[in-house]
Chains A and B, each alone.
Chain A
Amino acid sequence: MAPPVFWLLVFFIVPLLIVVSYSFSIAKTDGGISLVFTLKNYGQALEGMYLSVLFKSFGYAIVTTLLTFLLAYPMAYYMAFTTQRQKMIIMFLIILPFWTNFLIRMFSIMILLGENGLINKAFMFLGLTDSPLRMINNTFGMYVGFIYWNLPFMVLPIFSSLDRIDVSLLEASLDLGASQRQTFMKVTLPYSIPGLVAGIVFVFIPTLGNFVIPEFLGGTQNTMIGNLITAQYLQAQNWPFGSAISTVLIVIVMIFIVLYIRFYDPTKSKNTLNF
């Protein structure tokens, strides 16, 4: 067996199989698991309350992906067409947050956006508002957290696509009578789609399953599917039910990935966009 296959087996397939097998089992009262075959967990997972959380999670993930894209594209565009030196500086700034732990970064956002945070203090100092704005423990705070966390994963793949565009293609388009806007729509945008699609996958899927950001910044009314799973595993000690919700999520994500590969084979796109 080739080593890569072995790694895949140990780190991905076996854990996955354990989760799937738990999802068909029953939780014992002491928190243990009895391995019998039952569909009870799935029946429960597809009940109205859990399904609505699942749908809401999709909504949050879609909106997050969209907002992240809107912020990331201009950044990536600027980066791709600026000087080599500026590219390096911006790249460094984008990678910089990775040097700090994720949780610490989320705490910083909490502090920054909090009622006594820098932003609220600045707003009040400038007289823009009398009382502090509520910017965390609500949907707004959650989106700020998500976008902040996801931005590099959207910027970098789009940048790498844009950076590979041969400038003479843009010149050719202008030369043939297309305006700057037409050139963007007909050349720049289509050639950045591989990066864009990669960015969407990198942002959408982790957001869908994330539970830390809604917990930290989303307040009590913003629960995502990840929070439900965590609660089943940690608080309710009902691993089989947590596994069933996880499996539903995994299956949905798998469907997305299969569609992505079907319509956008990453190995094929390398050939057609190799210039």
Chain B
Amino acid sequence: MLELKNLSKFYGNVKAVNQVNLTISKGEFFCLLGPSGCGKTTILRMVAGFEKVTEGNIYLEGKDITNDAPNNRDVNTVFQNYALFPNLSVWENIAYGLKIRKITKDECNRRVEDVVRLTGLSGFEKRMPSKLSGGQQQRVALARALVNRPSILLLDEPLSALDKKIAEQTRNELSELQRKVGITFIFVTHNQTEALALADRIAVMKDGIIEHCDQPKEIYEKPRTHFVADFIGSMNFFECTIKASEDKATLLEIPEIGDVILTGQNKQEAGKTVQFCVRPERMKISMLQPAEYENCIKGVIRQKTYLGEITKFVVELAGNRQISIMAQNYLLKLSNEFYDIGEEVNIIWSKTSGEIIHV
């Protein structure tokens, strides 16, 4: 178990990491997600021991490791650029940590062999790193860290240097690998798709602070802050006031547009100004009237973009506000021919969709 208590890192006046509290349990696949400069890599580097902690503490299995040297921490890192030793072969790179620890030759060979098989590097043992592809180098970096059997494996944007297809494949392998070895993984990324696909829990960071930490589905469906809602996927926001609310149903008034209903929420405080947000894929364009369980507002189509698997519409609402809507191309003809730019349409979504964000 890893515990961060009031962890901070200041560079002069810049608070790179500001009073972060976090508990990551054993065997968890944890993801630190955020835009560049949000402090996610700084946290990782503090856990690894490369960055001095300004304030706060790091506990690993209950032991304070805040000021331990990197070589005395039961933690290993997969570096963003892999940092393979260019003068050592794949085998020697992987065995580096074991040789330092003076583990017997037999044991060393056995463990390297195991991890080579696990990461699918069989046959590449004698190669030099410069003769490997990006994906293979990434595996060597992974193997070199895993062979030491650390309590925690830190991964610093390990997929960002790979092209899309390889990154996707490696992502799946990584997830499988983590389940097999059962080691805690802490994964830093700015790529929300990676985070959603891999993590047991995600911490979304901004300006050195954790904005929201939860399971991927919760983060996506029930974002706690405007930033999280906006950063993960795309989101339509409406400024509105709560007109009336009871348990499981809330009536919201969106100025110039009309009233909408949101069900399934706890009772809200009436009269409060809030943000109501709905994902573009939860809305549809229609010429039909809404069903009883649906909300409906009017809009004019201003843009239409064909994106292969989906078609994206930009619709203008009253008061010059624009929202986007994603339509699955289930019936291509429907989005292609029925709904055209300049047309007035109904925008419909289920009363169960959407989220209230308090400002």
Residue ranges of A at the interface with B (Cβ–Cβ < 8 Å): 166, 168-169, 171-180, 182, 187, 190-191, 271-275
Tell me the minimal C-beta distance from A34 to chain B in angstroms.
Answer: 57
In the bound complex, CA of A271 to CA of B87 (Å): 11
Looking at B7-15, B77-85, B256-264, the stretch in contact with chain A turns out to be B77-85
Tell me the minimal C-beta distance from A56 to chain B in angstroms.
Answer: 38
Tell me the minimal C-beta distance from A168 to chain B in angstroms.
Answer: 4
Report if B63 contacts A (CB, 8 A): no
Whether the pair B79, A176 counts as a contact (CB closer than 8 A) is no
CB contacts (< 8 Å) of A177 on chain B: these are: 71, 97, 100-101, 148
Whether the pair B71, A179 counts as a contact (CB closer than 8 A) is yes
CB contacts (< 8 Å) of B166 on chain A: these are: none
CB contacts (< 8 Å) of A179 on chain B: these are: 69, 71
CB contacts (< 8 Å) of B84 on chain A: these are: 172
Report if B144 contacts A (CB, 8 A): yes
Whether the pair B70, A273 counts as a contact (CB closer than 8 A) is no
Closest-by-CB residue of A relative to B80 is A168
Whether the pair A171, B97 counts as a contact (CB closer than 8 A) is no
Tell me the minimal C-beta distance from A164 to chain B in angstroms.
Answer: 11
Q: Which of A169, A182, A271, A273 contacts B83 (CB 8 A)?
A: A169
CB contacts (< 8 Å) of A273 on chain B: these are: 86-87
CB contacts (< 8 Å) of B210 on chain A: these are: none
Q: Name the interface residues of B33-83: CB closer than 8 Å to any CB of A.
A: 48-50, 69-71, 75-77, 79-81, 83
In the bound complex, CA of A197 to CA of B185 (Å): 43
Given A182-B100, A272-B87, A273-B86: A174 touches B70 (CB 8 Å cut-off): yes
Given A178-B100, A272-B86: A168 touches B81 (CB 8 Å cut-off): yes
Closest-by-CB residue of A relative to B73 is A175
In the bound complex, CA of A175 to CA of B84 (Å): 12
Whether the pair B81, A174 counts as a contact (CB closer than 8 A) is no
Report if B96 contacts A (CB, 8 A): yes
CB contacts (< 8 Å) of B70 on chain A: these are: 171, 174-175
CB contacts (< 8 Å) of B83 on chain A: these are: 166, 168-169, 171-172
In the bound complex, CA of A185 to CA of B48 (Å): 22
**Interface on chain A toward B: helix, strand, loop, or mixed SS?**
helix
Q: Which of A166, A169, A176 contacts B144 (CB 8 A)?
A: A176
CB contacts (< 8 Å) of B79 on chain A: these are: 168, 171-172
Q: Name the interface residues of B140-190: CB closer than 8 Å to any CB of A.
A: 144-145, 148
In the bound complex, CA of A271 to CA of B128 (Å): 12
In the bound complex, CA of A263 to CA of B226 (Å): 63
10 A-B residue pairs with Cβ-Cβ distance under 8 Å, sorted by A, are A168-B83, A171-B48, A172-B144, A173-B96, A174-B70, A175-B75, A175-B77, A178-B100, A179-B69, A182-B100
Whether the pair B71, A187 counts as a contact (CB closer than 8 A) is no
Residue ranges of B at the interface with A (Cβ–Cβ < 8 Å): 48-50, 69-71, 75-77, 79-81, 83-87, 96-97, 100-101, 130, 144-145, 148
Closest-by-CB residue of B relative to A166 is B83
Whether the pair B77, A172 counts as a contact (CB closer than 8 A) is yes
CB contacts (< 8 Å) of A174 on chain B: these are: 49-50, 69-71
CB contacts (< 8 Å) of B100 on chain A: these are: 176-178, 182
- Chain B CB count within 10 A is highest, among A174, A176, A187, for A176
CB contacts (< 8 Å) of B148 on chain A: these are: 176-177
Tell me the minimal C-beta distance from B48 to chain A in angstroms.
Answer: 6
Whether the pair B86, A176 counts as a contact (CB closer than 8 A) is no
Whether the pair A175, B87 counts as a contact (CB closer than 8 A) is no
CB contacts (< 8 Å) of A176 on chain B: these are: 71, 76, 96-97, 100, 144-145, 148
Whether the pair B81, A178 counts as a contact (CB closer than 8 A) is no
CB contacts (< 8 Å) of A180 on chain B: these are: 69, 71
Whether the pair B71, A190 counts as a contact (CB closer than 8 A) is no
In the bound complex, CA of A173 to CA of B148 (Å): 13
Whether the pair A175, B86 counts as a contact (CB closer than 8 A) is no
Q: Which of A175, A182, A187, A271 contacts B85 (CB 8 A)?
A: A187
CB contacts (< 8 Å) of B81 on chain A: these are: 166, 168
In the bound complex, CA of A173 to CA of B77 (Å): 10
Closest-by-CB residue of B relative to A174 is B70
CB contacts (< 8 Å) of B49 on chain A: these are: 174-175
CB contacts (< 8 Å) of B145 on chain A: these are: 175-176
CB contacts (< 8 Å) of B80 on chain A: these are: 168
CB contacts (< 8 Å) of A187 on chain B: these are: 85
In the bound complex, CA of A274 to CA of B84 (Å): 12
Tell me the minimal C-beta distance from B232 to chain A in angstroms.
Answer: 29
CB contacts (< 8 Å) of B69 on chain A: these are: 174, 179-180
CB contacts (< 8 Å) of A272 on chain B: these are: 86-87, 130
Whether the pair A274, B86 counts as a contact (CB closer than 8 A) is yes
Tell me the minimal C-beta distance from A258 to chain B in angstroms.
Answer: 24
Given A166-B83, A168-B81, A272-B86: A175 touches B101 (CB 8 Å cut-off): no
Whether the pair B77, A190 counts as a contact (CB closer than 8 A) is no
Tell me the minimal C-beta distance from B105 to chain A in angstroms.
Answer: 17
In the bound complex, CA of A169 to CA of B83 (Å): 5
- Chain B CB count within 10 A is highest, among A175, A190, A273, A274, for A175
In the bound complex, CA of A188 to CA of B130 (Å): 19
Q: Which of B76, B87, B144 contacts A190 (CB 8 A)?
A: B87
Whether the pair B87, A178 counts as a contact (CB closer than 8 A) is no
Closest-by-CB residue of B relative to A169 is B83
Tell me the minimal C-beta distance from B72 to chain A in angstroms.
Answer: 8
In the bound complex, CA of A184 to CA of B86 (Å): 16
